[in-house]
Amino acid sequence: MRYFFLCFIVLSFVACKKESIPSNTENPGIPEPPEPPVVVECDVPHNELWYTTTHNDTTTPYFHPSLEHSIVSNTYGSEGGVMRFEGDITTIGYMLFFSNHTLSSITMPCSVTSIGESAFDTCALLSEVNLSANIEYIGEKAFYHCKFSEFVVPDKVTTIEPTTFGLCENLVTITLPEGLKKISKFAFTHCIALKSISIPHGVEDIVSGAFVGCRSLEKFEGRYATADGRCLIKDNTIIAFAPSGLTEYAIENGVTTIGGNAFALCEKLRSVDIPNSVTHIGTRAFSSCYGLESITIPASVVSISSGSFETYLPQVVYCEATTPPMADLGSESYWRAFSSAPYPELTIYVPVESVDEYKSAEHWSNYADNIVGYDFENGVVAE
């Protein structure tokens, strides 16, 4: 509606010029050049932002230092608000609308090419975002904890930055561009309504925890997706898992690494079968899997990262390796692969002949009181 009204004004203005062209006062007889028409793309003039609020009144930016130009007017009418600036907008700046609890929609001009870090962070009622097709960059936490249910990432964006869509609890559908190269750490963390996602074939990197806490995920499609759609596997490493509706899962043979946070927060899982091809279990791989009361770590595993099985609930661990797997601290100063030691509700069963070795091994010794001998051949606790 605004677009047609604006066109009507422009056409009327041009028509008036044709009827009466004033003379150039400095050069009599030479007509004044016509004023250039307003440049309009994507319906929005390049020096404006259009928006709506839940209280049907104006809103203002949170962090004014990130503005490119001063605001010359800010009005609100029957169709919403118009924020007009001194010059064309090319970026939605750092924390510009941070924690705005009245903003419900935003429409930006095609002159915008980037959205800064935390630009709409915790705009908890922002349910509609009309983006510029020319956007090339969307910053970290740009849309953290927003309300929209669907989102189409512009074609020119090549990276989903960390936590960009974190805690978007209403997000059901996300469309990623074919030119996307990277999905960063916790990019979609706790998007609890997200049911499926298609990974473009150009994606080269998906970082640990990109989909952690997405409890409604039913399937992955596209690059790295397994035949059953439940996992993303790259270079024999499980990157992410779609847990919705599952209480048990068998990891496919050939996987060598269970990546960091791969199964974290899969609270309904009660059983996971780890194949003998796995050699490494990453940081917090099964952290907060509260239904996982027991787990068998096959003899093939040679290293276990900190926090891998941390749940702080009663837990039984069967570790089949005769030599204690290496305790991989990663970037942490303390190895707590299981719940913090000593923890009386935890039992770690190891081969009978290896009990003393486990109890004295570096970092495993923290769990000495939890380690018990087990006869894996006969499936009984050692006397």
**Structural domains of the chain sorted by starting position, each given as residue range(s) with its CATH number in brackets:** 246-383 (3.80.10.10)
Condensed to tens digits (0 to 9), the pLDDT of residues 43-69 reads 899 999 999 999 999 999 999 999 999
| Residue with the two structure tokens 């090549």 | 158
% of the chain with per-residue pLDDT over 90: 81
d(CA 306, CA 266): 18
3 state SS of 129: strand
Confidence label for 235 from pLDDT (cuts 50, 70 and 90): very high
| Distance separating alpha carbons of residues 89 and 51, to the nearest angstrom | 15
Q: What is the mean pLDDT of residues 275-296?
A: 95
pLDDT range class, residue 130, cuts 50, 70, 90: very high
Q: How far apart are CA 124 and CA 136, in angstroms?
A: 24
pLDDT, residue 41, reads 52
Residue 26: what pLDDT?
44
Mean pLDDT, residues 109-119: 97
User: Is residue 218 pLDDT above 90, yes or no?
Assistant: yes
Judged by DSSP in three states, 199 sits in: strand
Listed residue (290, 292, 286, 288) closest to 271, CA to CA: 292
68: nearest Cα among 36, 28, 109? 109
pLDDT for 324 equals 98
- 36-40, 87-91, 310-314, 364-368 — which is least confidently predicted? 36-40
For residue 8, pLDDT over 70 is answered with no
> Would you give the distance in Å from CA 337 to the centre of its chain?
25
207 within 8 A of 184, measured Cβ to Cβ: yes
200: pLDDT strictly greater than 80: yes
pLDDT tops 60 at residue 34: no
> What's the chain's average pLDDT?
90
* Res 1 pLDDT > 60: no
Q: What is the average pLDDT across 133-149?
A: 97
Select the more confidently predicted residue: 6 or 147. Answer: 147
User: Is pLDDT above 50 for 203?
Assistant: yes
DSSP structural state of residue 270: -
- Across residues 140-154, what is the average pLDDT? 97
Under the banding of pLDDT at 50, 70 and 90, the label for residue 333 is confident
User: What pLDDT does residue 341 have?
Assistant: 65
12 pLDDT above the threshold of 70:
no
Classify each residue of 208-235 as buried b or exposed e, where b means 16 or more C-beta atoms within 10 Å of its C-beta.
bbbbbbbbebbbbeebbbbeeebbbbbe
Given a cut of 90, whether residue 314 has pLDDT beyond it is no
Kindly report, residue by residue over 64-91, the tens digit of the pLDDT: 999 999 999 999 999 999 999 999 999 9
Q: Is the pLDDT of residue 157 over 90?
A: yes
The confidence score (pLDDT) of residue 5 equals 39
Mean per-residue pLDDT, 127-136: 95
3-state secondary structure at position 324: coil
pLDDT reading at 123 higher than 50: yes
Section 258-271 average pLDDT: 96
Peptide bond into 342 cis (omega under 30): yes
Confidence band, pLDDT 50/70/90 cuts, at residue 140:
very high
